[in-house]
Structure 1
Amino acid sequence: MTSRTNGGEDGAPGEEDRPPQEQAEFSALLEDSAEDLYEHAHCGYLSTLLDGQIAKINTTLLDWLGYRRDDVVGRKYFSDLLTVGGRLYYETHFAPTLRMHGEISGVALELEAADGTRLPVLVTSTVRTGSEGQPFLIRTTLFDARDRRAYETELLRARQEADKERDRLRALNTTLQRTLLPPALANVPGLDVSAHYHIASADEVGGDFYDLFPLAAGTWGLFLGDVCGKGAAAAAITSLARYTLRAAAVYDPDPAAVLGNLNTVLNHEYNGTDPRFCTVIFGVLTPDGDQGGFRITLASGGHPPALLMRADGTADFLPTPGGQLIGVLPDARITTTTLRLDPGDTLLLHTDGLTEAHVHATTGRGDRYGDDAFLDFGRSLAPTTATATIDAVRDLLDTFGTGVDADTAVLAINVPRAPGDEQQ
């Protein structure tokens, strides 16, 4: 059998294997006196009388401050070691709390060294009492917080830079979003028009868009759409879609042909590993007859149906079944519908950010708003005007709060009643 030696791990010599002189030094290190541990601790120690006069201080704290022991003990008070601001905090908060509770822990203060430099510290103080509970003195421990202060300063600087960058990004997104919307909708004689764009997040550019613009004499084009995704990529598609729709409408204003052109462009440009698509509804408006009405033909490419609110107080979705997403297939199926807007009628186009919003419940996000609730909303408004409709939609979106996950665009057109025909 082999006997166990006094050697340390990995063959290191044990105490008995050391030469006598090293053995004595090693033993002395192991048997540091309590006083030595106090004097050369990694933190500062301080004992004061109840009035704050310093009665004892360790070497570590003296070295931090650059004082001799005789300069401090019996001559200075703890508050004398603090900066002006620290003294004020000590007198108004630190000392009263210590007297009331008998201890206070982890308070950030600044000491002022003999050369005037500042030393951030974390301070913990405890009132020491006698056997009968009478307070005798105050013992204080101070931890050097210079590394922590440097870390906090750097963290604050990084956060300020991040805030500035976020503000710059938001300003850029706002500017970019503004360029994707028309500066003003065309003025169509005999038509009341209103629109609104609700931004779900200022940190990302959405992909909703709309426009109303003149074509040939007595004819106007309008569209409203929603590009998949958010951010710069969605903004690029939005810009391409807007200008393609306007250019295609000038070449051939037939709504199905306009969306067919847009489908060809998107499918050609984005048919690789990152396909992009959108939903769009496009229409052509022309005055119809002497009664002040308008004829409108709408083509839908996978877009939610428009909501028609009639002058007689009824409301329903316009049927545009079967329209396919624009940009996905080389030959998307486009559906159209034609109707007449009479005086008092209002047509509302919207993106699905409205119907996909969540109605807040007492707990959780709540249910999706949905098409049925939106239809009931329209029926409660009819008959209405374009301006009143958009105001009501804005109020509705506000009630959802953070439940609106996606940007929302709405465009309303209304044929005003003739003077004297308005309902009271």
Structure 2
Amino acid sequence: MCRTDQAHEPSEEREGDAADAAFTSLLEDSAEELYDQAPCGYLSTLMDGTIAKINKTLLDWLGLERSQVLGRKRFTDLLTVGGKLYHETHFAPLLQMRGEVSGIALDLKADKQRMPVLVTSKVKVSEDGEPLLIRTSIFDARDRRAYEAELLRGRQAAEEARRQAEADRERLQEALAVLQQNLLPSELPAIPGLETGSYYHTASPVQLGGDFYDLFPLGSDRWAFFLGDVCGKGPRAAAVTSLTRYTLRAAALHDPDPVTVLTTLNTVLHERYTSGDPRYCTAIFGLLEPDNDHFNVHLASGGHPSALIQRADGTAEYLPTPGGMLIGILPHPEFRTTRTQLLPGDTLLLYTDGLTEARIGPERELYGDDALRAFAAGQPPVGPQALITALTALIAGFGDGLDDDTALLALGVPAAFPASVPAPVSET
């Protein structure tokens, strides 16, 4: 038996050697086939760029036969003009310095059209460090380029949309500014013996405010004035503002009594807005009548902050109108009235609550009525326009603490005698 086993040993060894050789041959064929049919392009070039080996995938991209390429073309011959320029000025110097370059975007002349690719090259060196050849992998980047192009188009579309939105926003602001101006008098009328001043602060450039004021003649040497605040902002508030202004004017021409005028406004708002979308406002309406060197004032308030008087002696006081109800809420509200005189050097100030409800200081506290009175008392009593100018600077100092629209209307009698009354002649 031992002899039999020994007899078979040489034969088994020969069979094993044959199997190893076949397996090795199979591996070599598989590796070559994998190289040639790989999903990306491969090529090897001499150090001068001459192509020594190239796979079928890359040949198919190029639309060339192997015989047209091997030993006949250099790698740069496969590139577009722009790709060749970039290779010579950037790719090749980097490869020479580093020995390897990865993921560089180039363009091939692929079958008579440009084909975007990503190129990675590495220099193979000998055992003694001498460069032998360059192995290059080329990946199809058409999908990536299409994706990048789509991103670029999307970015450009977004930028165009942003520019269009900005242009639309500017047009909207212009339109709103024109509309806002139409809700206010373009200028206050000149009244003999009276000085006037006004200011309007818009909290938002893209929303119509609801504050309003006006000053207009009633005939027979009488003048009417009003100032108020419609609840809300935007087009609906602007519609109420417009209705309120014209209602007050029409009512005053019919019967100028302040309570009657506010009552008429209340009836209009209550009847029109009680169902579904209630709208209301606060307002002060007053009458001015000249009397020698001063003006008599008769006013009524509906839920509005009290008017303030800066006196000629440097003091400041509110004209109390407590208990006046909001206009448009109830069918039969109560309105409060008061009377006073504007003497030479006095200024009557009407304002909306955006001023006194501004938030100031680190604690964001309300500015408040007391602060406004103290501010008015601290200003020299030199007329309505000077007081408005001072208040404008005050409002600007509130910054983002002033988050509501603010309207100001000031009426005052000059300290000097009015033009209709001759100044006394001093005796010499």
TM-score by length of 2: 0.70
Measured at CA, do residues 128 and 115 of structure 1 come closer, stay the same or move farther in structure 2, by a change above 3 Å?
Answer: closer
Distance in 1, Cα, partners of 2:408 & 2:256: 22
**Residue 352 (structure 1) aligns with:** 353
Partner amino acid, structure 1, of 2:232:
G
**Residue 234 (structure 2) aligns with:** 231
Distance in 1, Cα, partners of 2:192 & 2:165: 49
**Residue 40 (structure 2) aligns with:** 39
1:129-148 mapped onto 2 (5 Å cutoff): 143-144=144-145, 145-148=148-151
**Residue 381 (structure 1) aligns with:** 379
- For each residue in 1:236-279, what CA deviation from the matched residue of structure 2 results, as whole angstroms up to 9, or x when unmatched? 00000000000100111111110010000000110012100001
Deviation at 1:74, TM superposition (A): 3.3
**Residue 176 (structure 1) aligns with:** 179
Deviation at 1:63, TM superposition (A): 9.7
- For each residue in 1:131-154, what CA deviation from the matched residue of structure 2 results, as whole angstroms up to 9, or x when unmatched? 9xxxx9999986420121122122
Distance in 1, Cα, partners of 2:415 & 2:102: 76
Distance in 2, Cα, partners of 1:56 & 1:316: 100
Partner amino acid, structure 1, of 2:189:
A
Deviation at 1:46, TM superposition (A): 12
Distance in 2, Cα, partners of 1:205 & 1:390: 22
- For each residue in 1:371-405, what CA deviation from the matched residue of structure 2 results, as whole angstroms up to 9, or x when unmatched? 22222211211423111111111111211223321
Partner amino acid, structure 1, of 2:240:
I
Distance in 1, Cα, partners of 2:238 & 2:55: 66
**Residue 401 (structure 2) aligns with:** 403
Deviation at 1:155, TM superposition (A): 1.6
Distance in 2, Cα, partners of 1:305 & 1:46: 90
Asked if 1:304 corresponds to 2:302, the answer is: no
Asked if 1:244 corresponds to 2:247, the answer is: yes
More displaced stretch, 229-238 vs 365-374: 365-374
**Residue 83 (structure 2) aligns with:** 81
1:280 pairs with one of 275, 280, 283: 283
Is the Cα–Cα contact under 8 Å of residues 303 and 326 in structure 2 kept in the other structure?
yes
- For each residue in 1:95-134, what CA deviation from the matched residue of structure 2 results, as whole angstroms up to 9, or x when unmatched? 99xx9xx9999x9x99798899999x9x999998999xxx
- For each residue in 1:59-87, what CA deviation from the matched residue of structure 2 results, as whole angstroms up to 9, or x when unmatched? 999999x897968823488992399xxx7
**Residue 4 (structure 2) aligns with:** none
Measured at CA, do residues 73 and 276 of structure 1 come closer, stay the same or move farther in structure 2, by a change above 3 Å?
Answer: same
Asked if 1:413 corresponds to 2:411, the answer is: yes
Distance in 1, Cα, partners of 2:157 & 2:205: 27
Is the Cα–Cα contact under 8 Å of residues 193 and 387 in structure 1 kept in the other structure?
yes
More displaced stretch, 390-399 vs 262-271: 390-399
Percent pairwise identity: 45
Is the Cα–Cα contact under 8 Å of residues 192 and 413 in structure 1 kept in the other structure?
yes
- For each residue in 1:18-55, what CA deviation from the matched residue of structure 2 results, as whole angstroms up to 9, or x when unmatched? xxxxxxxxxxxxxx958866617xxxx9999xxxx999
**Residue 332 (structure 1) aligns with:** 333
More displaced stretch, 139-148 vs 336-345: 139-148
More displaced stretch, 212-221 vs 69-78: 69-78
Secondary structure, aligned partner of 2:329: coil
Partner amino acid, structure 2, of 1:370:
G
Distance in 2, Cα, partners of 1:153 & 1:247: 55
**Residue 130 (structure 2) aligns with:** none
Secondary structure, aligned partner of 1:74: helix
Secondary structure, aligned partner of 1:313: coil
Secondary structure, aligned partner of 2:373: helix
Distance in 2, Cα, partners of 1:103 & 1:316: 83
**Residue 269 (structure 2) aligns with:** 266
Distance in 1, Cα, partners of 2:240 & 2:349: 24
Deviation at 1:175, TM superposition (A): 1.4
Q: Kindly name which structure, 1 or 2, has the bigger radius of gyration based on alpha carbons.
A: 2
Partner amino acid, structure 2, of 1:315:
A
**Residue 9 (structure 1) aligns with:** none
**Residue 366 (structure 1) aligns with:** 364
Query: Gaps (5+ residues) in structure 2?
Result: 1-32, 126-133, 418-422
Deviation at 1:336, TM superposition (A): 0.6
Deviation at 1:179, TM superposition (A): 0.8
More displaced stretch, 322-331 vs 351-360: 351-360
Distance in 2, Cα, partners of 1:265 & 1:275: 12
Measured at CA, do residues 129 and 340 of structure 1 come closer, stay the same or move farther in structure 2, by a change above 3 Å?
Answer: farther
RMSD: 4.6
**Residue 9 (structure 2) aligns with:** none
Is the Cα–Cα contact under 8 Å of residues 80 and 107 in structure 2 kept in the other structure?
no
**Residue 128 (structure 2) aligns with:** none
**Residue 170 (structure 2) aligns with:** 167
Deviation at 1:163, TM superposition (A): 2.0
Measured at CA, do residues 74 and 215 of structure 1 come closer, stay the same or move farther in structure 2, by a change above 3 Å?
Answer: same
1:221 pairs with one of 220, 224, 231: 224
Is the Cα–Cα contact under 8 Å of residues 209 and 224 in structure 1 kept in the other structure?
yes
Distance in 1, Cα, partners of 2:398 & 2:282: 24
Distance in 1, Cα, partners of 2:56 & 2:366: 68
Measured at CA, do residues 166 and 219 of structure 1 come closer, stay the same or move farther in structure 2, by a change above 3 Å?
Answer: same
**Residue 208 (structure 1) aligns with:** 211
Partner amino acid, structure 2, of 1:379:
A
Distance in 2, Cα, partners of 1:57 & 1:82: 19
Deviation at 1:168, TM superposition (A): 2.3
Deviation at 1:201, TM superposition (A): 1.2
Distance in 1, Cα, partners of 2:201 & 2:219: 31
More displaced stretch, 246-255 vs 140-149: 140-149
